[in-house]
Amino acid sequence: MLRYPYTENLSRSCGQRFATPLMDYPHQHREDWKDQNHMYDTPTTTGADRKVLAFPLRIGVTIDCPDPDLGATFWERFLGYQRRPHSEGSTYVTVDCPENVAGPPHLTFQRVPETKTGKARVHLDLFVDNAQPLTRQMLAAGAHQISVTDAGEWTTRVLTDPAGNEFCVIGPD
């Protein structure tokens, strides 16, 4: 039985309901929808009995770190993002993607008391035309290089930002 446990919480936190098509999986049958989907509102249908679920208005990326100002300073320098106004000593600092730059709409840096203890399950990939110059600049700004994997036409460099969060710089040398 297929469940989407986060959908209900997202729709409550957004204060509105949005809809996106539900993908059909081989083990999920349309006849079972009402029996298996009791945790959701009755789905809306569009077209030929296409099911829809709630989805968020936008998705943000939040990065845990001990110092949100330091995290925001590092990433706004290398992504070309612009810092939102915030209160001094705030738990959150957000940098927004300008209209002419490709990337997530914003990154938020959140102060957390605990230090990072394991490998990140989600990370940023920065695709570049030439990896070496950017990597050198990032290392000079406080990043640390973890590994380098040569894949022929491009190289993947795994680095950590000053807070220890992994990211990759991917491109030819």
pLDDT tens digits along 71-86: 999 999 999 999 999 8
pLDDT at 165 over 70: yes
Residue 165, CB-side half-sphere exposure with 13 Å CA sphere: 21
Bigger pLDDT: 106 or 9? 106
The domain containing residue 78 runs over which residues?
A: 59-115
Residues 100, 144 within the same domain: no
User: Could you read off the pLDDT of 23-60 as tens digits, one per residue?
Assistant: 333 333 334 434 444 444 444 555 555 566 677 777 78
Residue 93 and residue 70 in contact, taking contact as beta carbons nearer than 8 Å: no
Same structural domain, 95 and 77: yes
User: In this structure, are 167 and 143 located in the same domain?
Assistant: yes
Q: What are the angstrom distances between the C-alpha of 28 and each of 1, 49, 56, 61, 146?
A: 7, 14, 23, 31, 42
Looking at the fold, whether 109 and 160 belong to one and the same domain comes out as no
Q: Based on the domain organization, do 63 and 104 belong to the same domain?
A: yes
Total structural domains in the chain? 3
Q: What is the band of 167 on the pLDDT scale with cuts at 50, 70, 90?
A: very high
pLDDT given at position 89: 77
